[in-house]
Structure 1
Amino acid sequence: MTAVSPTAAPAPRADLPAGGAAGAAARPAGVRRKWTEHGLVFVTPFLLIYALFLLWPLVYGAGMSLTSQNITGTGAEFTGLDNYAEAVRDPAMWSSLWNTVWFTVLSTVPLVIIGLVLALLAHQLRVVQWLWRISWFAPFMLPSSVVCLLFAQMIFPSGFGFADQLLAEFGLEPGIGWLTDARYAMLSVVLTTVWWTVGFNFLLYLAALQSIPQHLYEAAELDGASAWKRLWHITLPMLRRTTGLVLVLQVLASLKIFDQVYLMTGGGPDDSTRPVLQYVYQQGFTGYRIGYASAVSYIFFALILLVSLVQPWLARRKEDSK
């Protein structure tokens, strides 16, 4: 009986590329990788769209802010930093910027707190839980025009709106100028915004609550911790990162306020609710000063960029200090 000699494995072909790190090491130094072998081919469409609709408008707008261009696009002359100097000296710009910051302060605090409270309630409820979640999130899905018109009909005109009728039922004096009095107009816009957008923060908090390990609560309960202590020492610390995220997103969203003010008050009374974006709109499309409006918008852009960078920096400092 003849023995079968083992057959030697065929040598790898030199014309076939080897895969993985070994292939990269075996590839001759003069041979370049095909451009389809890395991710550039996949991200190129996104980079083109990103450059066309974001980077180019940013560069083009920065160039317009240095000119006296009007809305027709003709007769533009290079003015350097004159538009920025005028904006810094313009009390109307600072007033609009203050209205924006004031709205952000008034709206951010209740939106974060109410969103957390609603999430805690929905997380604890066991009966028709889905109904509560939909009820608290549903307003966020409505268009801004619907929400603003709904609230405008509820609180205006003075003396006939639902809010004034409710005050009369409790024996209080109706006829408050909710949208025509500078003392109440901003608060009315804030109330509308809180009811409309709190569902988004509620959803973020609810998702974070569901990711907290249940055994932490069980261990704390076995140690005799009350519900308040479990909330204070387990729930809130575990939600710290979510709170930071909600806070940044809410501040950035509130700084970009435009729809509610434009639809409900038009910036009045006496420009007491006019935000900086409406001021940019008025200067560019009503005053036909596109160059000056671009300069104001870039000043506001710098403010938003500063706010978006401060929070991660503070979070890193807090993590490093631990």
Structure 2
Amino acid sequence: MTSAALEQEIPAAGGGRAPWTTRLWHSGVLFVVPFLLVFAIFLVWPIISGFVMGFTDASLNGRPASFVGFGNYVEAFGDPEVWRTLWHTVLFTLITTLPMVVIPLGAALLTNLGFPGQWLYRMSFFAPFLLPVTVVTIFWGWMYHADFGLLNAAMEAIGLDRVPWLQDERYAMLSVAVTTVWWTLGFNYLLYLAALQDIPQHLYEAAAIDGAGAWRSMWSITLPMLGRITGLIAVLQLIASLKVFDQIYLLTRGGPNGSTRPVLLYVYDVGFSGFRLGYAAAISYLVFAVIVILSLGQLKLFSRGSD
């Protein structure tokens, strides 16, 4: 029923037109007002104020902020630490993106085979995703401990030397990446599992009639039908990896020697340790622009491949 019809069915007390508040209520506008208020206060306004702050020399020391134009952005482009930490972020993204697509896909294919105890597969793959980051980093911090960690104990048991997983620049970023993949692959696993169960079974039946085996059906039916969800997962993983902060901050604090310091941790250090809120805001919006450009490019690439 349209809003005009509702207005005709709800006469005013004096027989005239219903009040505008009544019309708004019955048209559904007032139902979304609370969400719009929360959305505007906690998302839209911080985005706008942060963008404006990037053009000032705002600081945590309490002094009045003054307009500096593009000075913060010019300084950011010439700041070697921005480029260094941005490379660390890109490196982390390169290390984690492919495993976060391939491993969940393999786990979903394994679950979809119909082996007994599928609930156990689902719980095993998805349960780590439900853990908060603090629990994950404490658990893996003990696993990586150089003196009495489980990984080094296992290596000693097979005759290998201990490895300072989080204290050596050669292994620190890889260790954080392994932790991240273990922790977050459950979400991608569920997306793949839902997509697999949505593939029409008559395609497999027709392929079986034509003599196609399991491998041929997977390469000719399953993987092509998962093209769009793979593109979505790749874009989501790219965005999540470029925003990495929590697990690195809790596991390594960006060390050793800054070898795992991502750009968002540098933004945090500049803003809350160096008190330069304006400069930190400028860097964060440069990172935001990089994320948008890369995400749109990757989405365009996958969209073209699935057409």
**TM-score, reference length from structure 1:** 0.86
Rounded to whole Å, the distance in 1 between the matches of 2:305 and 2:116 is: 39
State whether structure 2 residue 238 is matched by structure 1 residue 240: no
Stretch of structure 1 that moved more, 33-42 or 199-208: 33-42
Residue in 1 aligned with 2:284?
297
Rounded to whole Å, the distance in 1 between the matches of 2:175 and 2:302 is: 33
Residue in 2 aligned with 1:286?
273
Question: What's the offset of the Cα at 1:104?
Answer: 0.7
Residue in 2 aligned with 1:173?
161
State whether structure 2 residue 144 is matched by structure 1 residue 155: yes
Residue in 2 aligned with 1:106?
95
Question: What's the offset of the Cα at 1:306?
Answer: 1.6
Rounded to whole Å, the distance in 2 between the matches of 1:187 and 1:246 is: 21
Of residues 247, 253, 260 in structure 2, which corresponds to 1:273? 260
Which amino acid is the alignment partner of residue 184 of structure 2? T
Question: What's the offset of the Cα at 1:289?
Answer: 0.7
The 3-state SS of whatever aligns with 1:45 is helix
Question: What's the offset of the Cα at 1:316?
Answer: 4.5
The 3-state SS of whatever aligns with 1:78 is coil
Rounded to whole Å, the distance in 2 between the matches of 1:236 and 1:69 is: 51
Rounded to whole Å, the distance in 1 between the matches of 2:207 and 2:106 is: 21
Contact 2:54–2:279 under 8 Å retained in 1: yes
Of residues 289, 298, 303 in structure 2, which corresponds to 1:311? 298
Counting only pairs closer than 5 Å after superposition, residues 122-133 of structure 1 correspond to structure 2 as 122-133=111-122
Residue in 2 aligned with 1:10?
none
Question: What's the offset of the Cα at 1:318?
Answer: 4.4
State whether structure 2 residue 30 is matched by structure 1 residue 41: yes
Which amino acid is the alignment partner of residue 124 of structure 2? S
Deviations 1:170-221 (Å, cap 9, x if unpaired)?
Answer: 22222x1210111100000000001111111111100111111111111111
Q: Which runs of 5+ in 1 are unaligned?
A: 1-16, 24-31
Question: What's the offset of the Cα at 1:36?
Answer: 4.5
Residue in 2 aligned with 1:96?
85
Rounded to whole Å, the distance in 1 between the matches of 2:126 and 2:35 is: 32
Rounded to whole Å, the distance in 2 between the matches of 1:213 and 1:41 is: 41
Contact 2:228–2:303 under 8 Å retained in 1: no
Which amino acid is the alignment partner of residue 232 of structure 2? L
Deviations 1:257-291 (Å, cap 9, x if unpaired)?
Answer: 11111111110011110011110110011111111
Which amino acid is the alignment partner of residue 58 of structure 2? Q
Question: What's the offset of the Cα at 1:40?
Answer: 3.2
What's the RMSD between the two structures over aligned residues? 2.2
Deviations 1:65-120 (Å, cap 9, x if unpaired)?
Answer: 11111114423121111111111100011111111111011001001100000000
Rounded to whole Å, the distance in 1 between the matches of 2:154 and 2:44 is: 51
Rounded to whole Å, the distance in 2 between the matches of 1:75 and 1:147 is: 41
Which amino acid is the alignment partner of residue 5 of structure 2? G
Kindly tell me: are residues 315 and 166 of structure 1, through their superposed partners in 2, closer, same or farther at Cα, counting changes over 3 Å?
Answer: closer
Rounded to whole Å, the distance in 2 between the matches of 1:188 and 1:181 is: 10
Rounded to whole Å, the distance in 1 between the matches of 2:182 and 2:200 is: 31
Of residues 90, 93, 116 in structure 1, which corresponds to 2:105? 116
Kindly tell me: are residues 127 and 318 of structure 1, through their superposed partners in 2, closer, same or farther at Cα, counting changes over 3 Å?
Answer: closer
State whether structure 2 residue 66 is matched by structure 1 residue 77: yes
Larger Rg: 1
Contact 2:231–2:303 under 8 Å retained in 1: no
Kindly tell me: are residues 160 and 36 of structure 1, through their superposed partners in 2, closer, same or farther at Cα, counting changes over 3 Å?
Answer: closer
Question: What's the offset of the Cα at 1:312?
Answer: 3.6
Question: What's the offset of the Cα at 1:37?
Answer: 5.6
Rounded to whole Å, the distance in 2 between the matches of 1:68 and 1:127 is: 62
The 3-state SS of whatever aligns with 1:19 is helix
Percent of matched pairs sharing the same residue? 53
Which amino acid is the alignment partner of residue 69 of structure 2? G
State whether structure 2 residue 184 is matched by structure 1 residue 217: no
Q: Which runs of 5+ in 2 are unaligned?
A: 10-18
Of residues 193, 198, 222 in structure 2, which corresponds to 1:206? 193
Which amino acid is the alignment partner of residue 243 of structure 1? T
The 3-state SS of whatever aligns with 2:166 is coil
Aligned length: 294
Which amino acid is the alignment partner of residue 19 of structure 1? A
Stretch of structure 1 that moved more, 44-53 or 282-291: 44-53
The 3-state SS of whatever aligns with 1:202 is helix
Of residues 56, 62, 65 in structure 1, which corresponds to 2:51? 62
Rounded to whole Å, the distance in 2 between the matches of 1:37 and 1:308 is: 40
